[in-house]
Chain A
């Protein structure tokens, strides 16, 4: 970009900053409102700053709902989800990239085609099937049904195809078997792909709402988004300070994690083109 650089850059910066402020506004409003009491909400709804500041909303929200437990639930479910998805889809990707077998091409297309089915289409039968397994109102319903991930297989297959085949042949001459090659050569060489995919799967699992809403009843099993929606549903619509302090409790740790790893996270989701959707 050359011509009239100074004026151009200034105008661009100004409009992008304005847009950025609009993006930031809801978060800022959440934080400020989370320190307001009901009285202020009633008397002066457009005031920006809390007066008086009411930090008590935070301990109140934490006392009313088991957010600590919900964090643990969300964390370990997402971790298991990531581990299972990465391992099994890397295995499948390896088979599609490196093993010749009958029907490989057709199976791969069928694999990708299943991606077209929205999860909402199968939710009722899935519920009935998981009820037969005895998995309803249990975390198993959140961990296993989302492991099959054709998109992940597709992405990792691209990465595996870029690993030099000579590496594998050298290992083969040294007497390594398929599994050793997969575990010792292929996986370490596709670490960037696994990292990117891991982030995407983690975020999708952490933020998921539909599955917990359908499958969980007990409040001690709730994940963070589910608990948050139950908390908001159970409080008077006017106690925004309390509701938004609960929102802040649920959001701030993820936002901090995002700010620390933002480059990796943004690049991972951009490269995938699909994000968590």
Chain B
């Protein structure tokens, strides 16, 4: 976060009264946020851990099953497929989405009047995921009326059944995800590019470096903290993808669109297997933590921090 948020300078000196010990006031000011956090996050998290250890349908008695729910999920074909689908989605959207965003941001940084394009690219970001999914549903439909496949057919090409074919649906979801999140990544990279001193680029140019060389040897390394941060955020958010997929494709009818969050939702709110649902959710949490840890470890090797 520090890489992006402009950190205002610390106050020159700590005032005496303003920073005296004042536990009572601290409690008063912190109270509301802490209370909300305890009731709506910490308590449910603890409850999720407890639920993951029992078998319960919401009405009958709770039966303690130990880690049974976890082993059941980890050997369940549906859950494993959901993990695989989620991984595939991240493997497509994160590299493609971020690479496109870096290129577009670098292009925008090189022209005058980039604001117009910035607005164009950003429009999907402020659009609700439900509306986005409905628009794309119409574009990608394969019932002789979908515009994409009808257009392809005019050129003699036979487009896949984007939303119906379990093998293609992840690609369709990836297209929509990249389209709708591109603008945000572009403006974040633009902000990162603005921190690169123009003198360095100018000096390299005078030395005869080509644009491609400047991009590879100056822009990318100096942008790497921002790219790293965006990668972490993008991976985590593709792990948690639900809204768009749920509206775009009916995962109940297409096993290719079942992600981990869909499994959590289905087990909890369709099957009323609260224990299984909580176990699946906690596995998602562990996966999120693992990926973040791996990325922070990789950061040490690949991310270039100036000074």
Contact = CB atoms under 8 A, between A and B. Distances in A.
B141 A88 contact: no
A139 interface: no
A71 interface: no
B247 A229 contact: yes
A128 interface: yes
B160 interface: no
Interface string A128-156: 11000000000000001111111001110
A120 B236 CA distance: 12
B294 interface: no
Contact of B51 (A125, A144, A148, A240): A125
B37 A148 contact: yes
B74 interface: no
B124 interface: yes
A205 to B, nearest CB: 11
Contacts of B138: 29-30, 33, 240, 243-244
A165 B14 contact: yes
Interface in B259-301: 261, 264-265, 268-269, 274, 277-278, 281-282, 284-285, 288-289, 292
Contacts of A206: 128
Nearest to B153: A46
Interface residues on A, range: 35 or more
A146 B37 CA distance: 9
A188 B101 CA distance: 36
Interface string B8-49: 111111111111111101110111111011011111110110
B4, B13, B16, B128: residue with the most chain A Cβ atoms closer than 10 Å: B128
B130 A95 contact: no
A103 B253 CA distance: 51
B96 interface: no
B99 interface: no
B128 A250 contact: yes
Given A3-B205, A148-B36, A255 B126 contact: yes
B9 A126 contact: no
Interface in B91-124: 104, 107-108, 110-112, 114-124
A118 B17 contact: no
A247 B134 contact: yes
B171 interface: no
Contact of A94 (B1, B8, B29, B116): B29
Contact of A26 (B43, B135, B182, B261): B135
A17 B119 CA distance: 12
A91 interface: yes
Given A92-B29, A153-B33, A125 B145 contact: no
A273 B265 contact: no
A207 B187 CA distance: 20
B5 A271 contact: yes
Given A24-B120, A254-B126, A270-B187, A88 B32 contact: yes
B237 interface: yes
A124 B277 contact: yes
Contacts of A162: 8-9, 11
Contact of A161 (B10, B115, B179): B10
Contact of A120 (B114, B136, B284): B284
Given A95-B30, A244-B138, A258-B126, A45 B146 contact: yes
Interface string B214-251: 00000000000000010001001101101100110000
A10 to B, nearest CB: 10
Given A124-B281, A247-B131, A91 B124 contact: no
A239 B111 CA distance: 43
A103 to B, nearest CB: 9
Contacts of B123: 23-24, 27, 255, 258
Given A121-B284, A182-B29, A102 B131 contact: no
A277 interface: yes
Given A95-B30, A250-B131, A255-B126, A273 B179 contact: no
A234 interface: no
B129 A26 contact: no
Contacts of A92: 29-30, 32-34
A169 B29 contact: no
Given A45-B146, A129-B47, A258-B126, 12 more contacts: A27-B123, A46-B150, A95-B30, A118-B288, A124-B277, A124-B281, A147-B33, A161-B8, A165-B18, A207-B128, A266-B118, A275-B184
- Sorted from nearest, which 8 A-B pairs have the closest CB atoms? A162-B8, A273-B4, A125-B47, A148-B36, A122-B44, A95-B29, A101-B26, A88-B32
17 contacts: A12-B110, A16-B107, A23-B123, A24-B120, A26-B179, A27-B135, A95-B26, A120-B261, A124-B269, A125-B47, A129-B40, A145-B40, A225-B129, A240-B141, A255-B127, A273-B1, A274-B1
